[in-house]
Structure 1
Amino acid sequence: MLQAIGLTSSPRRDLPPAVDDLTFDARPGQVTALLGPGGSGKTTALRLMLELEPGRGVTYFRGRPLQRIAHPAGEVGVLFGDVPGHPSRTLRSQLRMLSAAAGVPASRADEMLEFVGLAGLHDQRIGRLSRGMDRRLGLASALLGDPHALLLDEPGAGLSARERAWLHELLRAHATEGGTVLYTTEDPKDAARNADRIVTLDNGRLVAAQAAADFAHTRLRPRVAVRTPHAARLAAAVTQEARAARRTVEVITERGNRLSVYGSDCAAVGETAFRHGVLIHRLTDEVGDTAPVGAEPDRPAAAAPAPGQPEPGQPEPGQPEAGQRKPRQPKQPESGRSEPRRRPARSPLRPLRYEIRRLLGVPATPLVVAGVLVASVVISLLLARSGRTPLPTVLAGWPVFSPLPPAALGAGLLGAFSFGDEYRYPALTTGRGAVPRRLGLLLAKLAVAAAVALVLAALAVVADLEALRLVYGGELIPVPKNWPTLCASWLGLIVGCAWAGVLGAGVFRVAAAGVAAVLAVPVVVAPLLRQVTFGPAGRSITGLPGRLREFVSMEWPVAADRWLLGVLRVVAQPVGVALALALTALLCAYVITGLHRKARW
């Protein structure tokens, strides 16, 4: 059972809330349609149920609110609009990535592709999908965790009749197996045809919650549609004959010389028109909506009720009147009032696996790596031509005019994409909500970024070294005596740039901000620190190990002084200090902005 109790959205400015004290339920084994015209609050209601929208109220999924469900993907599957995936990612890559987020095996991706009829298109790019295939992929994403409830916003919009039939057949199969299906629609005929129960909204408030048969009886009655230049004359004739025969017939005059006759058929109306010499341009049977939600139909031209039957337009005994809520006694929270809304902290159940698949699933990653290696090799060959450039600078491919070597720029760019793609293509969260700011996801991104940075740094040095030997001879290149310090500095620089890109994009929610954070370290922060370090007030770190030994009154091996001094030389470099300060500031900003958004919510 899915129960929504007292859903009320937060009003914006001086406007009334889009959803106002909405209470309804969706039962297992049934397909429930949330019906209403555009702007009636259907989508907002779904977002309130999923806690993606600020407001009040609570929604119970089989007796539990969403924030108390350990694995939401196994309880509710959601489809809002198009699939928010990277357009260059393949269908299989997208579902395998989401499988890690849902905590299910990767083989589930192939099963879902076959289930929705996309098994032969697993290598197709998301950006090239048609509307129908995109909707199939969205359903596969929603079904990955084998959820009990399905929440879909206008799932049939833009689909052909054949695709809509397939979609509703799938939803019906899910309900038949005991699942709960709730979807929104603006079409009353679609709701009556495909749903078991229909919840009607108007201006964010509940109008009626009724079975599809009752809905079709009250809102989708069979009628005869007539178009004639003598509408008033034909209406009077039909009414007169109905009263004489004591039959219940309702005639409604519409615009454009049109009549809607309820309680009769084409043969009877046609014979009446023939007997009275009325010209008819159109005569057909229809099943349609009698009036928009919240609007009254045109006044009937005439009606002839049968004895003992209610007047046309009057509700049957026990049925709620139009515009009134049907008395219901929903289950209330234990406290007797609505619980405060808190956004659940959603995050991948397997964040490390999710991040690896996210990184390797887009062509941007190999392109950046290839570009970095080519640029580094070309720069190294140009720097080595004069023979006066130090070997570390040549192997790093770091010319004087560049703030950072290509490897550092590439690592920072890949790190910026780590969070930039999350905000641009929010595949993690339902309905394009905020990107999760959980510690596990952040640590996974930092760990993967560091690993990629180390590999990129090693590949760049090896490629530059082999290119130098190939072009300028195979003689042995002398190894500097301080190579451990140089290696530590090199690896620290690349990893620090990658982390700066991750945190910068995470704080400012765009990849360009991550790249700017990487470039700000050598361009802005490092020059300032260089002035402080090498200024008149600066002190040498040569005797620091000895001073530390005296301060702590401890004795340690002399070899430890050499290692400690090497570490301090690496850390004390202006770029290293600048990176450390920048990373500390970005990490604090990431935590503070995350806490601020939670408090504001």
Structure 2
Amino acid sequence: MAAGMPIEITGLSKRFGQVTAVDDLSFTVEPGRVTGFLGPNGAGKTTTLRVLLDLERATTGTATFGGTRYRDLPRPLETVGASLDANFHPGRSAKQHLAVYATAAGLSKSRVPAVLETVGLSEFAGRRVGGFSLGMRQRLSLAYTLLGDPGVLVLDEPVNGLDPEGIRWIRGFLQSLAHEGRTVLVSSHLLSEVQQSVDDIVIISRGRLVKSGPLSSLELEVAPRTVVDSPDRLRLAGALDQAGLEYTEDGEGFVVDEPDPGRVGHAAFVAGVELSALHRVTSGLEDSFLSLVGGGEQA
């Protein structure tokens, strides 16, 4: 196995005519960790990966593997395994598909059965790819990335369209790669798809970086609030108004823009209002993610 190395994106911009797809983007992906590259559809993720893999030329800035551009790597498939825009000949079998790429890259065909075994496709090695399910094609794409036993994996939306069993499998697969010391960068437009498998996150929106760091740091992006309720909501609303607390009403009662339930409870006590609920809530990771990117697709 090749050694893992950092992926370094520095001041990267990519423009298509008047459209800026990536705008002064900088981040680093470290070996031994799974990094989620996140953002809505159209945020610039795939363009960034295409520049990284020399499928597009940067307008400004650099994208390298340990300081070396992809086109300058002496044996790229043995350094970087990438899954972007996978194409399959429907009439070829899984082993034939991989053998073609192994031959083109100067790799031993003995790697073909090994990688098919790794991704759980050994029993389907002789089956034509045209009959594969989406999940099986995703696994075959992963097998291709492993042909050169690379230290770096770059995967674009690898869980897109998978069923729950397939998603569970790929989560464990990504972590096993990182535990071997490889560098793993995986893109997705949904945090919920990858949050149980990534260690770090890089979030972009409209081509610009909005957040990077450990996954746990995302929980701090949205301030906690307090939920309070009473059999007499009219009097409770008056108590909150009297205390100068901002709130909205929902099915649980009132959501107060105050992280300390004690202050909310004291306001109700002073007004003599009986409470039926009082607790602190924090937004989930997906809520934090959506608050950063604004939600939805981007042009």
User: What range describes the TM-score normalised by the shorter chain of this pair?
Assistant: 0.7 to 0.9
Code of the aligned partner of 1:160: D
Q: RMSD of aligned C-alpha atoms?
A: 3.7
Amino acid at match of 1:32: T
Query: How far apart, in 1, do the equivalents of 2:162 and 2:253 lie?
Result: 30
Q: Please point out which of 70, 74, 80 is paired with 1:70.
A: 74
Correspondence for 1:3: 8
CA deviations on 1:506-537 (whole Å, 9 max, x unpaired) are: xxxxxxxxxxxxxxxxxxxxxxxxxxxxxxxx
1:65 is displaced (CA, Å) by 1.5
Residue type matched to 1:289 in 2? D
Unaligned 5+ segments in structure 2 are 1-5
- The SS at the match of 2:32 is coil
Amino acid in structure 2 at the alignment position of 1:149: V
Verify the 8 A CA contact 1:192 1:213 in the aligned structure 2: no
* Residue 180 in structure 1 maps to residue 183 in structure 2: yes
Give the match for residue 134 of structure 1.
Answer: 137
Amino acid of the structure 1 residue aligned with 2:103: A
Flag the 1:28–1:258 CA change in 2: closer, same or farther, 3 A.
Answer: farther
Secondary structure, counterpart of 1:88 in structure 2: coil
1:116 equivalent to 2:119? Answer: yes
SS in 2 for 1:275: coil
Q: Which amino acid aligns with 1:21?
A: D
Cα pair 2:38 2:45 within 8 Å, conserved: yes
Which of the residues 203, 217, 220 maps onto 1:200? 203
Query: Hey, what does 1:523 align to over in structure 2?
Result: none
Residues 331-410 of structure 1 aligned to structure 2 (within 5 Å): none
Structure 2 CA distance, aligned partners of 1:3 and 1:100? Answer: 30
Report the TM-score, using the length of structure 1 for normalisation: 0.41
Q: % of aligned pairs identical? A: 34
User: Are 1:171 and 2:170 an aligned pair?
Assistant: no
Whether the aligned pair in 1 keeps the contact of 2:228 and 2:275 (CA below 8 Å) is no
Q: Distance in 2 between matches of 1:251 and 1:113?
A: 58
More strand by percentage: 2
2:25 aligns with: 22
Letter matched to residue 31 of structure 1 = V
Aligned to 1:58: 62
Do the aligned partners of 2:78 and 2:149 also contact (CA within 8 Å) in 1?
yes
Matched with 2:149 is: 146
Q: Which structure is higher in helix share?
A: 1
State the Cα distance separating 1:224 from its structure 2 match: 7.9
Q: Which residue number corresponds to residue 108 of structure 2?
A: 105
User: In the alignment, which residue of structure 2 is the partner of 1:292?
Assistant: 291
SS of equivalent residue, structure 2 residue 31: coil
Q: Deviations over 1:465-484 (max 9, x none)?
A: xxxxxxxxxxxxxxxxxxxx
- The CA deviation at 1:207 is 1.4
Deviation string, structure 1 residues 172-222 (Cα, Å, up to 9, x no partner):
111111110111122234454322111111110111211111122325x77
Seen in structure 2, the aligned counterparts of structure 1 residues 143 and 254 have a Cα distance that, compared at 3 Å, is: farther
- Deviation at 1:34? 1.2
* Alignment gaps of 5+ in structure 1: 245-249, 279-283, 297-601
Structure 1 contact 37–293 (Cα < 8 Å) conserved: no
Q: Find the aligned partners of 2:233 and 2:100 in 1 and give their Cα distance.
A: 62
Give 1:63 deviation, angstroms: 2.5
Q: CA deviation at 1:80?
A: 2.0
Shift of 1:156: 1.2
Residue aligning to 1:158? 161
Q: Kindly tell me: are residues 62 and 123 of structure 1, through their superposed partners in 2, closer, same or farther at Cα, counting changes over 3 Å?
A: same
Q: 1:72 to 1:200 in 2, by over 3 A?
A: same
Q: Secondary structure at the match of 1:67?
A: helix
Distance 1:53 1:235 in 2: 57
Give the whole-Å Cα distance in 2 for the aligned partners of 1:134 and 1:36. Answer: 24
Letter in 1 for 2:15: S
Offset from partner CA, 1:488-511 (integer Å, 9 cap, x none): xxxxxxxxxxxxxxxxxxxxxxxx
Deviation readout 1:94-118 (Å, 9 max, x if unpaired) = 1111111232211211111111011
Partner in structure 2 of residue 344 of structure 1:
none
Letter in 1 for 2:83: L
Q: Which amino acid aligns with 1:110?
A: P
Q: 1:137 to 1:7 in 2, by over 3 A?
A: same
The equivalent of 1:528 in structure 2 is: none
Q: Report the Cα offset of residue 275 of structure 1.
A: 3.3
Change (3 A) 1:88 1:23: same
Native 8 Å contact 1:10 1:54 kept in 2: no
Cα distance in structure 1, aligned partners of 2:16 and 2:249: 37
Which SS does the other structure have where 1:289 is aligned? helix
State the alpha-carbon separation in 2 of the partners of residues 110 and 232 from structure 1: 70
Query: Structure 1 residues 277 and 39, CA, compared in 2 at 3 Å: closer, same or farther?
Result: same
**Structure 1 pair 223/184, CA: closer, same or farther in 2 (3 Å)?**
farther
Change (3 A) 1:154 1:21: same
Q: CA 1:209–1:264 in 2, change beyond 3 Å: closer, same or farther?
A: same
Tell whether the 8 Å contact from 2:36 to 2:202 is kept in structure 1 after alignment. yes
Residues 108 and 232 of structure 1: is their aligned pair in 2 closer, same or farther, counting only changes over 3 Å? farther
1:383-405 residue CA offsets vs partner (Å, 9 max, x unmatched): xxxxxxxxxxxxxxxxxxxxxxx
Task: Confirm or deny: 8 A CA contact 2:204 2:293 kept in the other structure.
Answer: no
Separation in 2 of the partners of 1:182 and 1:66?
A: 15
Distance in 1, matches of 2:7 and 2:49, equals 12
Is the 1:224–1:286 contact (alpha carbons within 8 Å) kept by the matching residues of 2? no
* Amino acid in the other structure paired with 2:76: P
Counterpart-to-counterpart distance in 1, 2:197 and 2:79: 23
Matches within 5 A, 1:487-506: none
Q: 1:27 to 1:63 in 2, by over 3 A?
A: same
